[in-house]
Structures are given as C-alpha cells and as structure tokens.
Chains A and B, each alone.
Chain A
Amino acid sequence: MGWLLADSWTVAKRHLLHIRSMPEKLSGVTIQPIVFVFMFAYIFGSAIAVPGGDYRQFLLPGVFVQSMATASASIMAGIVSDMASGVMDRFRSLPMARAAVLIGHTGANLVESGLGIVAMAVCGLIVGWRPELGLAPTLAAFGLLLLFGFAMSWVGVFAGLFLKSSEGAQGLGFVLIMPLTFVANTFVPTGGMPAILRAIANWNPTSAVVTACRQLFGGAVPAAPAWPQVHPVLASLLWCAALVAAFLPLSVWRFRRAMTAR
C-alpha cells in the first residue's frame, strides 16, 4: 500500500491535465456560479429581504456552497465515462493501488474546487461582497468549503459507480444537487418556508456549511432554531466527516469488488 499516494498523485495529474485540454470542465465551478451571483444579485435579490442585512453578503456564501456541491455531479460524470470507455478496466488490470483511481480523482476535483473558489471570490468582490472579519476566519471558511466539496465528491463517486450512461449521470446529478442546494438556506432565509421544508432545510448539510460561511465571512445570519444552525461550524465538520467516513470506504469497496458483476 506504499504506492497508494504515488499512484493517487499519478491519477490526479491525469485529471489536472484535462483542465488544459478541456477548460469547459471548470464551468461548473466558475461560469455557473458566476451566473448565479449576477442573477440573484441583480434580478431576484431586490425581491428577497434578508432580516437585518445586505442580500449580496447573504448570497455569496450560498453560491460558494452550491458550487462545491455541483462538483460532485462533474466527478460522477467522469467516473461513468471512464467505466463506459474501458479506462477503468485498464486501471483495474494494472498492479497499482486500486483505491488510487478514486482518491486521485477526488484529489484533482479538490484542486478544481479551489480554482472555482478563487473565481467566485473575485466575482463576489466585484458585486460588493466583503469578508469582514479578517484573514483567519476567511481562510477557515474557504477551508470548510473545500472540505464540503471533497465530501460531496465522494458521494458523486459512489453514485457514479452504479451508473451505466452519462445521460443517467446528468439526470441523477440534477436530482441530487437541486434539492440539496435549494431546500436549504442557500438563496433565501428558511424562516418563510412551510414547516416540513423548513425542518429539512435547517438540517440539510448544505445549510450548515452556508451558515458557517456566513458567520466566518461576517454579515447578517438569520436566526434558525435547529441545532446545526446554532452550531454551524461544528455541524459542518460533523456532516463532512460523516459523508467521507461513509462514502469513501463504500466507494472503494464498490470499485474493488464490483465491477466484477458487470
């Protein structure tokens, strides 16, 4: 297993080289969130009231988190296409550490998420968002975002290992990401939602990370009574740890054993 790290790095390099040959791969963490920023900041923003605060300050953490979640859809599509094209079979016929195929991929995904955060932060600064509490909390928020992106990428890997076609991946990505990021406090405070949706939204991992970022960047944080909303940083860390602890081993298990059934 001494080769796990070296092999993961080799695989990660493969995916990072893809950024050069297909830059559109980054659109999910750059163009798409930037469109959301402008759309919500200038179109919907005027109609959404945030108690005691500025909407753009409220919006940016939501968009950051949403784009981290969409990273899981892109990795899922990557896994599905590698399986369909026979590339996975080739990797699995090599004397390499098998888990490295997945770890390298999620590692590269993390780098892409980091590039996306930089792009979004620049865009946010342009529309008037400001991290107000200084360097350390701001970096902590970015760290939390990356952790969430990493955790979500393992969900994407696991789902991808069950799919046969990239159309399926797109459909599932949509079905997974939409409720996760919209039944949440991402774009609107949860206070106005019907009781059931509000309860789901307040316990949604996305909401925990969003609230944590709102606290760390500074600005109005609408009060919500649920435990994860009262302790958002701790809740985010627990959620991410739980997702990784569940989906990393599950994915590796599925990958090791499973394509044997295909």
Chain B
Amino acid sequence: MATAAIRAEGLAKRFGKTRALDGVDLVVEPGTILGLLGPNGAGKTTIVRILTTLLRPDAGTARVDGFDVVRQGHEVRRRIGLAGQQAAVDEYLTGRANLVMMARLYHMPAASARARADALLEQLGLAAAGDRLVRTYSGGMRRRLDLAASLVAAPPIIFLDEPTTGLDPRSRLDLWAMIEGLARAGTTVLLTTQYLDEADRLAGRIAVIDHGRVVASGTPDDLKRGVGGERIDVRAPDADTLPAVRRAVAAALGTEPTLDPETGRLTAQVADGVAGLRAVVRELDRAGLAVNDLALRRPTLDEVFLALTEREVAS
C-alpha cells in the first residue's frame, strides 16, 4: 500500500463540553484535492489544526506524508503549508517582507529568499503591490498573499481553510484557478469550504462534515447522486393558483413538491433536470397556468445536509 499523503483515524477532540470532533477518518491520496465540506461549527478548522500540528487530538491518530502529527510534528511541519481561516499575514510589513520572512524561517539563504518572494509575488499577481504595506491590500490580495506564504517552501501538501470565504466572485475564481494549478503540479491539497459549488469544482473527493463526524464521502458525483440530483423551483403568482400549480408539478414529475410557506416556493427533486423542466413547462402550458419563477438548480448545501443527515437518522 502506497503511503497516503494524509491519513487520519478516529480523531476526537473536545473543548470543554463541546465535542468538536467525534471520530473522524480521512484518507487523501498524493496529488489529489480533498474538500472538507461542512457548515459553520462542523469541525473543519479543528481537523486542519490537528493535521498541521497546531492542536493535539484527544484520541485517534493522524499521519501526514507518513509522519505522525503528534510525535513527529517537526517532520510534518517541513512538508506542509497552511493558509488558515484568517489571512495570517503581517499588516505592518510589505507583501514582499512577509514572504521573505517566511522564506527565512524555512531557512532559505537570504538571496534565494528574496528570489522566491519575487517569484511568488509574480505568480499570484501581486508584483505591483509587493512593496506596499499589507494594511493597504484588499481582501482578495491578502488571501493571495496568504496563499503565497503557505507556498514559500513549495511543500508537497497544503492545507487551505476556507480559502475563499468573504471574497468577491472575481477573486474567488482567481483563487480557484491557482488552487487547480497547484494540484496539476502535483501538490496534495486539503481544503475546507462551506460551499458545495466550490468543493464540486475543485475537489476530486469530498468529505461532508457535520457535528464533528464524516457523514458522507465520495466523489462530487457520488454525493450529488446520493442527494437526488437537481431541484426544480416553481413559484405560483398568488395563493389562489398555488394548489393548481402544485398539482401540475406533481403530475409532470410524478413526485409531490415541497412548499416553503414563507416564500410560496415549490421545490421538487428530479433525477434528470432538463427533462423534468420540460415536463413541468408542458404541464403548466396544458393547464393554462402562469408562474412567477421557474428554475432548475443544484441542491443547496442545506439540502445536501438535510438529505445526508436524514439518511443517517434513518439507517
């Protein structure tokens, strides 16, 4: 069996009464991206902190590149890069000084440290801002600098804790492209996210975390199949036509839609989205019904969780 880049077994951690992790198992193969997907408070950061040697698990073991995170912390730290949930860069240094400091702390000679800083500033599109204080950077620039800081030593394994939370859509896309570039170059990436679309786009495998446990894992397609494909949303123009619209959707799809009483929105699961949408349109036309909204979409994270946790309760 080849060494997994990351292997965790039975990780548990409590903070006082809070059970932050309750037996987490993970395996990440070298050169792949694992997405840890979960809502706020699920335990994602705690997992990252344990794997990066910042936190000691109460129980369980974890190995990173074959080294035990508790007993061989120093060896682990030589092989990882971490970009934490906050951009941990020094506001009162320039972008370049931040990176040079990091490189020096990785014990690069001064000249190579400067060269590495320049190369990374270039690579992450910060060359023009390199000599400005980080205090003047935008949120997206800080995130990129933070990512650069985690890449200084070109580590084979990097941990990104919610790398795009709080970013505007443009910066988000930029960062996604950079993360994909890293993986293509052979870096193993463990990233956490609250967004299904992010995990979907970046990760080869996803582990869904809830209440400190892995409630599902697999490829993005596995998960989506598991939660019943796409969703069709329909909104009736008023309360009077709602029953008729509801009947039409049910007839078209052969399944009863759920109603969100606050917005008056009907939602139905469909295995094949486009075919389902056609059927609904046809049925509404035939019944002569007009609707305010008709949309096909991916399940939201809430729905994925709901589906997964319901299944868990059922089993």
Inter-chain contacts of B194 with A (CB < 8 A): none
Q: Given A89-B54, A90-B149: A14 and B88 within 8 A (CB)?
A: no
Instruction: Select which of B88, B104, B135 is within 8 A of A87 by beta carbon.
Output: B88
Contact A95 B106 (CB under 8 A): yes
Contact B92 A22 (CB under 8 A): yes
Answer whether residue B233 sits at the interface, using C-beta atoms and an 8 A cutoff: no
Answer whether residue A126 sits at the interface, using C-beta atoms and an 8 A cutoff: no
Answer whether residue A6 sits at the interface, using C-beta atoms and an 8 A cutoff: yes
Answer whether residue B68 sits at the interface, using C-beta atoms and an 8 A cutoff: no
Whole-angstrom distance from the CB of A84 to the nearest CB of chain B? 9
Inter-chain contacts of A14 with B (CB < 8 A): 90, 93, 97, 101
Answer whether residue A46 sits at the interface, using C-beta atoms and an 8 A cutoff: no
Answer whether residue B84 sits at the interface, using C-beta atoms and an 8 A cutoff: yes
Q: Please, which residue of chain A has its CB at the minimum distance from the CB of B134?
A: A21
Answer whether residue B282 sits at the interface, using C-beta atoms and an 8 A cutoff: no
Contact A90 B93 (CB under 8 A): no
Q: Given A86-B84, A86-B88, A89-B84: A13 and B55 within 8 A (CB)?
A: no
Instruction: Select which of B78, B82, B93 is within 8 A of A89 by beta carbon.
Output: B82
A11 to B86 Cα, complex, angstroms: 20
Q: Which of A1-43 contact B (CB under 8 A)?
A: 3, 6-7, 10-11, 13-14, 17-18, 21-22
Answer whether residue A94 sits at the interface, using C-beta atoms and an 8 A cutoff: yes
Contact B77 A93 (CB under 8 A): yes
Contact A10 B104 (CB under 8 A): yes
Q: Given A87-B88, A89-B88: A13 and B101 within 8 A (CB)?
A: yes
Inter-chain contacts of B97 with A (CB < 8 A): 14, 17
A85 to B55 Cα, complex, angstroms: 17
Contact B56 A94 (CB under 8 A): no
Whole-angstrom distance from the CB of A111 to the nearest CB of chain B? 16
Instruction: Select which of A7, A10, A85, A92 is within 8 A of B54 by beta carbon.
Output: A92
Q: Please, which residue of chain B has its CB at the minimum distance from the CB of A18?
A: B92
Answer whether residue B19 sits at the interface, using C-beta atoms and an 8 A cutoff: no
Inter-chain contacts of B74 with A (CB < 8 A): 95
Answer whether residue B53 sits at the interface, using C-beta atoms and an 8 A cutoff: yes
Answer whether residue B201 sits at the interface, using C-beta atoms and an 8 A cutoff: no
Inter-chain contacts of B77 with A (CB < 8 A): 93-95
Whole-angstrom distance from the CB of A124 to the nearest CB of chain B? 30
Q: Please, which residue of chain A has its CB at the minimum distance from the CB of B80?
A: A93
Whole-angstrom distance from the CB of A133 to the nearest CB of chain B? 41
Answer whether residue A91 sits at the interface, using C-beta atoms and an 8 A cutoff: yes
Q: Which of B23-67 contact A (CB under 8 A)?
A: 49, 52-56
Instruction: Select which of B55, B101, B149 is within 8 A of A10 by beta carbon.
Output: B101
Inter-chain contacts of B84 with A (CB < 8 A): 86, 89-90
A92 to B50 Cα, complex, angstroms: 12
Answer whether residue A226 sits at the interface, using C-beta atoms and an 8 A cutoff: no
Answer whether residue B297 sits at the interface, using C-beta atoms and an 8 A cutoff: no
Contact B107 A87 (CB under 8 A): no
Answer whether residue A118 sits at the interface, using C-beta atoms and an 8 A cutoff: no
Q: Please, which residue of chain B has its CB at the minimum distance from the CB of A91?
A: B105
Q: Which of A67-122 contact B (CB under 8 A)?
A: 85-87, 89-96
Inter-chain contacts of B92 with A (CB < 8 A): 17-18, 21-22
Answer whether residue B85 sits at the interface, using C-beta atoms and an 8 A cutoff: yes
Residue with the highest number of chain B CB atoms closer than 10 Å, among A10, A17, A93, A259? A93
Inter-chain contacts of B81 with A (CB < 8 A): 93
**Besides the known contacts A10-B104, A259-B54, 11 further A-B residue pairs in the complex with CB atoms under 8 A apart:** A3-B107, A6-B104, A10-B105, A17-B97, A18-B93, A89-B54, A91-B105, A92-B54, A93-B81, A95-B107, A96-B107
30 A–B pairs (Cβ distance < 8 Å), ordered by A:
A3-B107, A6-B104, A13-B101, A14-B90, A14-B93, A17-B97, A21-B93, A22-B92, A85-B88, A86-B84, A86-B87, A86-B88, A89-B49, A89-B88, A90-B88, A90-B149, A91-B105, A92-B54, A93-B52, A93-B54, A93-B77, A93-B80, A93-B81, A94-B77, A94-B102, A95-B74, A95-B77, A96-B105, A96-B107, A259-B55
Q: Which residues of B contact A (CB under 8 A)?
A: 49, 52-56, 74, 77-78, 80-82, 84-93, 97, 101-102, 104-107, 133, 135, 149
A-B interface, 5 closest residue pairs, ranked by CB to CB distance from nearest: A86-B88, A90-B88, A86-B86, A93-B82, A95-B77
